[in-house]
Amino acid sequence: MKKEEISRIVSNFKFTMQNIKNNIFRLRKRQDGQIIYLLNEGEIPRKFNATTDRIYGKTVSEIFGEQQANMINNYYERAFSGEIVQYRVQFEDVWFETILSPIEENGVIIEVAGSSYDVTDKVKYQEEIERLNEELRDLLLTDKLTSLSNRRKLDAVLEYEILQSARYSRNLSIIFFDIDDFKGINDSYGHIIGDEVLEKISEITKSNVRDTDTPGRWGGEEFLIICPETCVEKAKVIAERIRQRIESSTYKPGFKVTASFGVSQFKTGMKKTAFVVQADQLMYKAKQNGKNRVEI
């Protein structure tokens, strides 16, 4: 090969190394088993000041530090054992997608070639999609006005808890309550004030149930609280506490609000609908007995 041809090949190679967008690198094992870099070129090494002239012959831990080296070396060792490896890793504020390929000579793996791509934007996009999907899931299962569980979520939780109660003979109670004379509040003060009442009662409810309970808006001014592993007497205590907090609170523009409660305990063989209807009927009994009370 002529000198000019060699010079042209070297020039082309240098141009490629200086302008390549992704990262290409080569690895070899020393006699002591340590993996070292023979080549590291591209936009990514230039960004981190880790091109071949700076890291040639250095080990992974010398470049990345011990903590990150342990993970990276695991991928490299897999490649040196003959596996084509693909992985994603973060270094500082950048995410890389990397592919490793073993290089054989006479049936023996002598080196590993790697190529990395900056996938930071892709990762951020995926994280944003996941965040939006989570928000969407929340919207599908959360009442928009009160931020409590909605009817769909309550139905699902109640079905699950009924199965658990039937299977393991665990207590299960529900609290069904309705704001007294809510139509009168809307008629007298308007729906905006009515919504504020719903929001405040939701806050009272959330702050007076246990972590294991599931409070939700059943519909309109009706609320349901699912109380796993709870007998009717203990559920009544929760209902009475919420009733008192609702009654003792003041609502803009300075009126009082009360609510009527029905508390029911699950019995083996009872269907979900019958369970809820029983609590609903007890709530109406509370209304008939003067409102602002708890019936079990």
In Å, what is the CA distance from 159 to each residue of 26, 139, 199, 239? Answer: 57, 20, 26, 21
Query: Please, which residues have CB within 8 angstroms of residue 96's CB and are 6 or more apart in sequence?
Result: 23, 44, 88, 89, 90, 116, 117, 118, 119
Asked whether the beta carbons of 256 and 181 are under 8 A apart, the reply is no
Q: How far apart are CA 102 and CA 79, in angstroms?
A: 6
* Cα distance between residue 229 and residue 208, in whole Å: 17
Which stretch of DSSP H or E encloses residue 17? Answer: helix 3-19
Tokens encoding 180: 């007294």
Catalytic residue among 159, 221, 222, 240: 221
3-state helix, strand, coil in the chain (%, to 5): 50, 25, 25
What does the chain come to in residues?
296
43 is catalytic: no
Query: How many angstroms separate the CA atoms of 295 and 81, rounded?
Result: 71
Residues labelled as active-site residues: 221
